[in-house]
A and B are shown apart, each in its own frame.
Chain A
Amino acid sequence: AQSVTQLGSHVSVSEGALVLLRCNYSSSVPPYLFWYVQYPNQGLQLLLKYTSAATLVKGINGFEAEFKKSETSFHLTKPSAHMSDAAEYFCAVSVGGAQKLVFGQGTRLTINP
């Protein structure tokens, strides 16, 4: 069965610094991978997705993620953090034939002025 592990339940960075949120997946077959963002008391919004095309995926709000099969990772990055990036971020995996998504535990991102 597929699973997702997000390393670090809470990440804090300074405004303008690099954002790196880690996600590792477990799957016996090529996965589809997603990053979502959630603001307080809101639903989830898709940031980006990997569907076996380019391994470097660009998303909204300046975020991008790189699929590394050898490391079973799909880490999310942003070169320069903005105060508006403060939110909770979820990594999710879906495997062919299984329509449901499996989510990681989430990482809360705090931006320090």
Chain B
Amino acid sequence: DGGITQSPKYLFRKEGQNVTLSCEQNLNHDAMYWYRQDPGQGLRLIYYSQIVNDFQKGDIAEGYSVSREKKESFPLTVTSAQKNPTAFYLCASSIKENTEAFFGQGTRLTVV
């Protein structure tokens, strides 16, 4: 089955630790995205990538980093510089501009 796989579904980390969230897609999509979701705030774009080895900051990139070494993979690292990392993180992909995005099932990160 084609789709987007995010792992793990739940993640707990201690404050001050970096953590990497995995996102893999087998849809052969060029574009991939990371969104953060907080209650009552909708989805906010962290980073996006339109092609391998290239990515752009979204609206809330501070404290996050990404890489796009392979077309199918777009991991997100939440660094210790992110002030409020506890949130629900969603990865998405789309085949090209102005087409719908397909979403993974999300990773809920809790930092204690």
Binding site for B on A (CB under 8 A): 9, 32, 34, 36, 41-46, 49, 51, 90, 94-106
Contact = CB atoms under 8 A, between A and B. Distances in A.
Nearest to A98: B97
B94 interface: yes
Given A94-B97, A96-B98, A99-B31, A42 B43 contact: no
Interface residues of B, number: 28
Interface in B1-48: 4, 6, 31, 33, 35, 40-43, 45, 48
Task: Please report whether the interface of chain B is mostly helix, strand, loop or mixed according to DSSP.
Answer: strand
B47 to A, nearest CB: 10
Interface string B95-107: 0111011111110
A44 B33 contact: no
Interface in B69-112: 88, 90, 92, 94, 96-98, 100-106, 108
A8 to B, nearest CB: 13
A103 to B, nearest CB: 4
A41 B106 contact: yes
Contact of A46 (B42, B90, B100): B100
Contact of B42 (A95, A96, A106): A106
A99 B106 contact: no
B104 A99 contact: no
Contacts of B31: 99
Contacts, number: 60
Query: Which of A32, A49, A101 gathers the greatest number of chain B CB atoms within 10 Å?
Result: A101
B40 A41 contact: no
Nearest to A9: B40
Contacts of B106: 41-43
A45 B104 CA distance: 9
B63 interface: no
A36 B42 CA distance: 12
B90 A103 contact: no
Contacts of B58: 100
